[in-house]
Structure 1
Amino acid sequence: MRRNPKFLNLVLLNGEPEEKLRAARAAGFDQVEIWREDVQASTPQLAKQLQLGFTNVQVLRDFTGAPDRDRQQKREELRQFIQIAQTIGCDTIQAPASTREDCVAARIDEDLRWLASEAARYNMRIMYEPMAWCSVDNTLPLAWERLQRLDQPNIGLVVDLFHICAPGGDASQLDGIPADRIYEVQLCDMAEMPPQDKKPLSEYARHQRLLPGDGIIEVERFVDKLKSAGYSGPVGIEVFNDELKAQPADVAAHKAWQALNRYWP
């Protein structure tokens, strides 16, 4: 029987990093998406003690198409992420598409090839995420078109329901994407269609997402397509929600676990 690792993005939880890790594991999660800011000296030992894995380290922002003045700095930042990932025993780094208005679009392919090559030197994978407010590759079909063209074996897609549905997309965007090119699936929901301007949209996404099943997204359609395609990668919860984050970490983690298991038991 297929077994998809179940993860929780720690952005949902309040408290110190150790408290977040313990709460996620106690709720039942196999893995967590950990932010660079949550990695501490005690993290590797605690994760081993809890038998908790890491889906990825977040988040290498605006790497592709960086202007000349920032390009070398971004490459150094990647190396820092690789070092952090190695320290905690993680093999994957999340690097979304660029949100910069001054992104040099003509250089994105070159940057992604370099990113893939550098990551491969350390047996690392890159999760490329199309976000609804990105200046390029802001939809799953656009991101998939680019990855198909580049054909780098260690770069795969993030499927985030918010970023598909917020601009008006649906589960049909998964059609034609091989399951092994999807590196993770992030489930969430939203109460209503958010504003479409970039800044209000990003603010909505960072404060008002809901747990799957609490809003208007047809989560079942995504789940059915993924299961039919034989998706066997990590599936989990990425929810930025101020009200949930104000609750004790163990309470919020338990609610997330229940929501995930309604759709992916």
Structure 2
Amino acid sequence: MANPVFLNLVLLEGEPLTLLHAAKQAGFDEVEIWQENVQAAEGGAKAIRAQAQRLNLGFTNCQVLRDFAGAPLALREEKRQQAQQFFQLAQAIGCRTVQAPACTREDCQAELIDEDLCWLSAGAARHDLRIMYEPMAWSTVDNRLGMAWQRLKRLDLPNVGLVVDLFHIAARGDDASVLEDIPPQRIYEVQLCDMAEAVTPDDMLQLVDSARHHRLLPGDGILPVADFVAALQRKGYRGPVGIEVFNNRLKQQPPQVTAAQAFAALRRCWP
């Protein structure tokens, strides 16, 4: 596999340093790590960085700067402080990218999104970092990949790129054709998963519950994973591709077992 392959640690349960080892042992090159993983690790950021260096394990991104772009003006200073904290955290563990999904607040201020993303881009650049912008199915404004791409295309920020997450694309009713107009270099990562049954924004409660607790490994459900993979490979996408699966049952297994299952699923769907 020419692309770096990663595992989002949300799939595993256990002590964070052990999770890093389980991911590497399974065959992954990188992990998506959460702020909570770093905070829970004995020894904190310093220990996480040392363990990753010992294992020669990279970080796809540090998660997750929530509800930043479009937050109400009354929260702007608080949100910018949170962003600075994420920049510092990413640098402390040796990670170059922070994930900042599209705002999900009901009081999201659409007119502030451009300004906030420009600020985030400039702030990240001062730390030699990148920003991954993810349209989620329940985001208030940029809830479809095409919408998010049109915004980033217009803003043309050199260090802000897209997250392609199959769950959120499918939940909004889009298919692989949504990838056609996006240059591969503007896609910063691809998150693969599957689902047992169709979910739509018509039933937001079911959608969110499925997203946060019942995603499946790619190839175990009903999504046309092969169509998305083929479209990305035709485009010549060479960035990170991996597994982001929130699944309560898999999380209960020993992390080494689940990580191995995730890697096997990735090998099957991304040859």
- TM-score over 0.5 (shorter chain): yes
Residue 206 (str. 1) matches residue 212 (str. 2): yes
The 8 Å contact of residues 165 and 191 in structure 2, kept in 1 or not, is answered as yes
Counterpart amino acid of residue 197 in structure 2: E
For 2:222, the equivalent position in structure 1 comes to 216
> C-alpha deviations, 1:98-149, integer Å up to 9, x for none?
0001011111001111110111111110000000001010000000010011
For 2:180, the equivalent position in structure 1 comes to 175
CA drift of 1:169 comes to 1.2
CA drift of 1:167 comes to 2.1
> C-alpha deviations, 1:10-65, integer Å up to 9, x for none?
00001110111110000000000000011123101100001000000000000011
Query: Which residue of 53, 56, 59 corresponds with 1:54?
Result: 59
For 1:253, the equivalent position in structure 2 comes to 259
> C-alpha deviations, 1:140-185, integer Å up to 9, x for none?
0000010011000100000000000012111111011000000000
Instruction: List aligned pairs for 1:100-179, cutoff 5 A.
Output: 100-179=105-184
The 8 Å contact of residues 173 and 200 in structure 2, kept in 1 or not, is answered as no
For 1:27, the equivalent position in structure 2 comes to 26
Residue 9 (str. 1) matches residue 8 (str. 2): yes
Measure the CA separation in 2 of the matches of 1:99 and 1:136: 8
For 2:250, the equivalent position in structure 1 comes to 244
CA drift of 1:195 comes to 4.9
Counterpart amino acid of residue 124 in structure 1: L
The CA RMSD over aligned residues, in Å, is 1.0
SS at match of 2:229: helix
Measure the CA separation in 2 of the matches of 1:61 and 1:199: 19
For 2:269, the equivalent position in structure 1 comes to 263
Measure the CA separation in 1 of the matches of 2:73 and 2:234: 44
For 2:198, the equivalent position in structure 1 comes to 193
The 8 Å contact of residues 99 and 134 in structure 2, kept in 1 or not, is answered as yes
Measure the CA separation in 2 of the matches of 1:109 and 1:229: 28
Residue 18 (str. 1) matches residue 17 (str. 2): yes
Residue 75 (str. 1) matches residue 80 (str. 2): yes
Question: After TM superposition, which residue ranges in structure 1, 4 or more long, deviate above 4 angstroms?
Answer: none
SS at match of 1:156: strand
CA drift of 1:200 comes to 3.0
SS at match of 1:4: coil
Measure the CA separation in 2 of the matches of 1:203 and 1:263: 25
Measure the CA separation in 2 of the matches of 1:225 and 1:153: 24
Question: Against the structure 1 CA distance between its residues 166 and 123, is the aligned structure 2 distance closer, same or farther, given a 3 Å change threshold?
Answer: same
Measure the CA separation in 1 of the matches of 2:115 and 2:106: 18
Measure the CA separation in 1 of the matches of 2:218 and 2:205: 24
SS at match of 1:42: helix
Counterpart amino acid of residue 145 in structure 2: L
SS at match of 1:57: strand
Over the matched positions of the two proteins, sequence identity in percent amounts to 62
Measure the CA separation in 1 of the matches of 2:139 and 2:206: 13
CA drift of 1:227 comes to 0.7
Measure the CA separation in 2 of the matches of 1:167 and 1:243: 25
Measure the CA separation in 2 of the matches of 1:195 and 1:20: 32
TM-score, structure 2 normalization? 0.96
Measure the CA separation in 2 of the matches of 1:163 and 1:195: 10
CA drift of 1:194 comes to 1.9
Counterpart amino acid of residue 11 in structure 2: L
SS at match of 1:214: coil
